[in-house]
A and B are shown apart, each in its own frame.
Chain A
Amino acid sequence: MAAGEQKAGKGIGVRLPRKEDERFMRGRGSYVGDIKMPGLTDVAFLRSPLAHGRIVSVTAPDELAGRFFTAADIAASVKPIRAVSGLPGFKPSSQPALADGKVRFTGELVAMCLGRTRAEAEDAVAQVVAEIEPLPPLADFAVAEQPDAICVHEEWSDNIYLETRIEKGDRSRIDGAAIEVEREIRLSRQCMVPLEGKGTIAWWDTRLDQLVVYTSTQLPHMMRTGLAECLGLEERQVHVVAPDVGGGFGFKCVLQPEELCVAWLALTRKKPFRWIEDRREHLVAAANTREHHYRIKAFADAEGRLLGIEADVAVDVGAYSVWPFSACLESAQIASILPGPYQMPFYACRTRSVATNKPPFMPYRGVARTGVCFALELMIDAIARQAGLEPADVRLKNLVLPEQMPFTNITGKLFDSGDYPESVRRAVETIDLASFRARQREGSDDGRLLGIGFATYCEQAAHGTTVYAAWGIPMVPGFEQATARVTPDGGLELRIGVHSHGQGMETSMAQVANQVLGIDTDRINVVHGDTALTPYSTGTWGSRSMVMAGGAVSRACEIIRERALAIGAHLLQTGKDEVELVGGRIQGQGGSVGFADIAQAWYKSPETLPADVAPEGLEVTAGYKPMVDSGTFSYATHAAVVAVDPDFGSVEILDYVVVEDGGTLVNPLIVDGQIIGGVAQGIGTALYEESPYSADGQPLASTFVDYIIPGPCEVPDIRIVHMETPSPFTAHGIKGVGEGGAIAPPAAIANAVNDALRPLGAEVAMTPVTPHRLLAAIAAGRNGRQPVQS
């Protein structure tokens, strides 16, 4: 199809406006916080004021009896959260719902109080007295790794959840390399800041003898498993609903202690309780992601061809291992994905997941890739500067080539398809590198320094059984299932176990069904987010939903199609081989019938059906897994032009281009939205968002005054160019694409800043590139040295 041509219909590939926007854009979404119930009791928490300490006592005045709870009340009936990994040497942690004996990060739950309103519950919290004897706080991984450091978990011998080592290829290839560059590269800890925070409301359903938990989650089925395990219930006794969820990004894919507390209250008191996270709780107790530290060396020949990478990586994972993803998801991934889309004859990497007195680390959109891309792409540019080459040309010399597909890289990753160098060439062309270099040479008239930066990455998505079984975490995805049901009036209901919280799946899943059955998307409902109504699923994570649930919807609809063809042929008094499905109708020589006719026959006039009709009827649950389930590989090249003000250390993004190949795009309009949203988050990581800690482990950004997220003025228009190479392994060639936008911006922007700073001999190598860090880099450049990354 020619560029710019609009595909007709409502099937795969159509830029269909989102069905769900009718409610979202009118403010009619229904979130946990919108739920009203008679007798609803609010919960507020007393959170630890110290990063590390031993609890001596937690007391409250007598008048709070029945409204005040500590570990002493719940520890016997609520098991701590334990997320283990099967990787050899992994040390698990136990995270109690309410701190039991020790506190291990500022913001950890110490006690909970009840009130008729949140304000009343907070009044009660204000009366609780916690006596905590301070222990030495470990506010940074480097402190926690000191041999004499106190252990965050007393039963451990050190503060390392897991150490991994990998060495691949031929080490002798880096000997005598013409180019050797070494850098220390860091990403700051940050929050995810979804528009809707976390929230949970729970009650006991006496009729069904079930604990009902409405919670803001990406993984309702997994939450049922986690809640049941910790509360000692059978899973049939737990019903989890994720209603409308205002953004997840990974923050809502783990079991939270607050969820356990609220569920325990409902279970034991048989009344409704709720907790709605406020922004301060989020910024303090959920500052939980991105914090990677790299010492990395890259070796190349004089022409900029990579000879090898050696890296030593620490991830500051915080106090506990989160369930189900564990504390080592990122570090284990880093080791395997650091080579990115590049070819190299040698690669070695050591990683550590380090326990500190900070909130538990969680996977955030891009999961490890944002850090990996930042580290590797800064090194590619460092090589280019040393070799005196255009950074884009160094990428072209090292990227995997289209004729090598499918390609197995140095760490054994199987790339499915694509033309990676073409994404660089198109980015160069779209951002007009040649004109930019001319403009850069002339200099700006306002004293600002201009720079251009590129970043190329691959995004493995929809990782399946083989990948996750190797990591040994408590959640290994298998076949994904979807239910398709033709309603008695000829409409369609789809039931999927993943959850849509911004991904537009109520539209895109309907488009897949429309592609197979031709039923108008207006007549298709997509049901998700309810363990009672949908097939089991590990949920929405890892950019997997469109590949996995989309594939399952496709399979279910294909089975419906065959059964409909059989009934339709009978109604048309002809053989099944004589009819076909066209435009949502079964056509034979003598005429046609629609799904309403077929449904009428099946549900209401079964006497008209043939004796050999399929007894399963017009409702199908089908399972799906790609023929190769190690994951799809989307990729992109991002290019940024920035202006740096050397007086204030500020960075303005003047142009931003994304050339993206996400395989077959089910709805390119939704993909564009995901890219733009992801890039906005990436700009936050690159320039603004940071959760700094004092040396004693106190969070220094607890409101939006100190925690800065980009606003409309900080996010430029993003120019998107799509390439579309279908995956050979998946239904319809779909690839996962939801996280990509957030992966490359820190790398592209920092590379652009470094390009601008080149005349000053300065470089930045830590996110976010704040004015202070940028000015410190300039000052260090002036003195002919690299700045300390802090």
Chain B
Amino acid sequence: MKPSAYRYARPSSVAEAVRLLADSDGGGKVMAGGQSLGPMLNLRLAQPELVVDITGIGELASVREDKDGIVYGACVTHAAVEDNRVPDAANGFLARVAAGIAYRAVRNRGTMGGSLAHADPSADWMTTLTAVDAEMLIAGATGERRVALAEFMTAPFSVALDEAEFIVGIRIRRHSPAARFGYFKFCRKRGEFAEAMAAIVVDPAAGVSRAVIGATDSRPIVLPDISAYLPLSPERLEAAKAMVEGLGIAGEPIKDAMHANAFARALQQVKP
């Protein structure tokens, strides 16, 4: 299939992009890399009147550091994170996640902001950046607002953005050197979307011991305190699995066991 006809704009500033979206009266769609939107246009699942390509806005491809965090521009590509071309607020964890996203060709063009705005429950960033409690920086007609990623996704492929808003940045707290991370996903094929996924962040200095279970049918599931399972022992591992299975995330025993096993694998990566 081929896309239905649309207008294409590539603004050079956030303000211009916001104006284009506001003027499009709901017919505008932001493109930040096109790795999901492209196929959706081709399949005519998306039929926007206007595509606003934000990769021409220089600042969105850059990174800004503040006192205790890093703001990644929405158009920072997965490959830039993978290659350490941008600083890693999570001690290498982000680069490791990025390196496992889809295929290199997708990582070259796909962006952090684009992936989060698309809000596929099985995508890597939605789960892992929820685990590091990332904050979305959102530009709109009334200026910039911030929202926690955990609140940002409202449903599969649905996020809390109004028609003239788009993600301009993702702020991630700088983790302490003692922070530990676990991430496991199970895919049927290398590079495909995950069937089960879990991310864990333990940062004692910040009082964080959080896990997120992704690849569900809806929003990622946040387990705000998993300290009871650490340091890991065989009994605690079994208890952790039983706890996740008990959540009945998929409502189907085989898939629920997969979620539990993914959580267990991630937990096993968190060294004492």
Contacts and interface: CB of A to CB of B under 8 A. Distances in A.
B60 interface: no
B164 to A, nearest CB: 28
B2 A117 contact: yes
A249 B185 CA distance: 34
Given A122-B44, A123-B5, A711 B189 contact: yes
B1 A122 contact: yes
Interface stretch (B89-97, B131-139, B169-177, B254-262): B254-262
Interface in A679-731: 688, 703, 705, 708, 710-711, 713-714
A119 B192 contact: no
Nearest to B255: A772
Nearest to A125: B1
A648 B186 contact: yes
B147 interface: no
Contacts of A776: 254
A280 B1 contact: yes
A392 to B, nearest CB: 30
Interface string B1-40: 1111100000000000000000000000000000000010
A441 B264 CA distance: 26
B59 interface: no
B4 A688 contact: no
Contacts of B196: 648
B1 A278 contact: yes
Interface string A118-160: 1100110010000000000000000000000000000000000
B254 A772 contact: yes
Contacts of B43: 280, 703
B261 A647 contact: yes
A278 B2 CA distance: 9
Nearest to B47: A126
Nearest to A280: B1
A770 interface: yes
Nearest to A648: B186
Interface string B175-207: 000000000001011111101100000000000
B189 A710 contact: yes
Interface in A631-646: none
A606 to B, nearest CB: 58
Given A688-B189, A703-B39, A713-B190, A775 B254 contact: yes
Interface in A769-790: 770-772, 775-776, 779
Given A647-B261, A648-B186, A703-B43, A711 B1 contact: no
Contact of A711 (B3, B190, B253, B254): B190
Given A648-B186, A713-B190, A771-B188, A123 B4 contact: yes
B192 A708 contact: yes
A436 B192 CA distance: 31
Contacts of A703: 39, 43
A569 to B, nearest CB: 62
Interface string B195-236: 110000000000000000000000000000000000000000
A119 B186 contact: no
A280 B261 CA distance: 34
Contacts of A333: none
Query: Which of A119, A278, A776: most chain B Cβ within 10 A?
Result: A119
Interface residues of B, number: 26
A64 to B, nearest CB: 16
A225 interface: no
A119 B4 contact: yes
Contacts of A649: 254, 258
Interface string A58-97: 0000000000000000000000000000000000000000
A123 B39 CA distance: 17
A749 to B, nearest CB: 15
A649 B4 CA distance: 41
A703 B40 CA distance: 11
Contact of A688 (B39, B188, B191, B254): B188
A772 B195 CA distance: 11
Nearest to B258: A648
A713 B5 contact: no
Nearest to A646: B261
B189 A713 contact: yes
Nearest to B195: A771
Contacts of B3: 119
B254 A779 contact: yes
Interface in B45-96: none
Nearest to A773: B254
A650 B3 CA distance: 36
Interface string B233-272: 0000000000000000000011101100110110000000
A648 B188 CA distance: 9
A523 B154 CA distance: 67
A734 B165 CA distance: 68
A262 to B, nearest CB: 18
A227 B233 CA distance: 71
Nearest to B241: A647
A648 B261 contact: yes
A650 B261 CA distance: 13
A705 B122 CA distance: 12
B51 to A, nearest CB: 14
A119 B5 contact: yes
A703 to B, nearest CB: 7
Given A122-B44, A647-B261, A775-B257, A770 B188 contact: yes
Contacts of A711: 189-191
A660 to B, nearest CB: 27
Contacts of B44: 122, 126
A116 to B, nearest CB: 12
Nearest to B260: A647
Contacts of A117: 2
A120 to B, nearest CB: 9
A369 to B, nearest CB: 26
B49 to A, nearest CB: 14
Contacts of B191: 711, 713
B120 to A, nearest CB: 10
Nearest to B252: A772
Contacts of A770: 188
A647 B253 CA distance: 12
Contacts of A771: 186, 188, 195, 258
A772 B190 CA distance: 17
A647 B262 CA distance: 9
Contacts of A772: 254-255
A126 B254 CA distance: 40
B2 A119 contact: yes
Contacts of B39: 703
Contacts of A705: 192-193
A117 B4 CA distance: 11
A688 B190 CA distance: 12
Contacts of B189: 688, 708, 710-711, 713-714
A338 B117 CA distance: 53
Contacts of B188: 650, 688, 708, 770-771
Contacts of A280: 1, 43
Nearest to A119: B2
A516 B258 CA distance: 62
Nearest to B2: A119
Contacts of A714: 189-190
B2 A118 contact: yes
B4 A122 contact: yes
Contacts of B186: 648, 650, 771
The 5 closest A-B pairs by CB, nearest first: A119-B2, A713-B190, A647-B261, A648-B186, A775-B254
Interface of A: 117-119, 122-123, 126, 278, 280, 647-650, 688, 703, 705, 708, 710-711, 713-714, 770-772, 775-776, 779
Given A710-B189, A713-B189, A779-B254, 11 more contacts: A126-B44, A278-B1, A647-B261, A648-B258, A648-B262, A650-B186, A711-B189, A714-B190, A771-B188, A771-B195, A779-B253
9 contacts: A117-B2, A126-B4, A126-B44, A280-B1, A647-B264, A647-B265, A649-B254, A711-B190, A714-B190
